[in-house]
Structure 1
Amino acid sequence: MDLLDWHRERLSSRRLAVLIKHLPRDSALNRDLHGEAADWSVTDHLLAAAVDHLAAANWMFASVNSEEGDQPEPPVPVPRPGDGAQDADADGEGDGDGNAGPATDTQAAGTAEGADPQAPSPAELARFFA
């Protein structure tokens, strides 16, 4: 397909718009417009969320069933597209606004690195799940 056909009036604007609209997910235009997010489908996001939730559940179970001094490290969420700015903020190299995108459920629960000081203790978790 020659895009000069549009200029030569051999290709209608409507046909050109349809061709652009239905470009594949991994096309250069979609990657330029959406960055890494173009590589992730809904299935990929759901799978990452399932992995994060399973890791959080395993961490809670291990926290409740371990001694007070032998607590496991909280799980690190699966990196998602657009989280690069958040990773840079954790290293002290980001722009400092902290708005790298919506927080995942495990981050909201305080299970990411640099956990929330208000995170539940193992005793609170045991009381909750008992």
Structure 2
Amino acid sequence: MKNKLFGFVIIAFIVSSCKTYISEPSHTNIKEIVSSPDAVLVDVRIPEQYLQGTAKGAINIPLAELQNNVEVLKNKKVVVFCNKGIQADQAMEILNRNGVEAYDGTTWKNVKAIQDETDKK
């Protein structure tokens, strides 16, 4: 009985520690994703910050509203970003947990710089 209980505890620990979300592949080049015509750029800052400046073509879904908009983003390549990357990290967790193919653009200035660099080519 003791061995069965121990085995159950071990299995429960292993299952609970597994991450079951899609993570950003390590070989993915964020520049390629941002430049991709099928990528959805999502600025997760509050509307006031978004209106002060953002990347070209970006939509605004504030972090506080992201969970409620997950279904709209499924089956798309989503690049999330904010001011410093902290909210983008949180957005990545939400999207990954919900099976969305998400990529961390870190900051809106980073994504905009990638766009500007691509436009020069």
TM-score, structure 2 as length reference:
0.31
Query: Which entry has the higher C-alpha Rg, 1 or 2?
Result: 1
- Structure number with greater CO (CA < 8 Å, separation at least 6) is 2
TM-score, structure 1 as length reference:
0.29
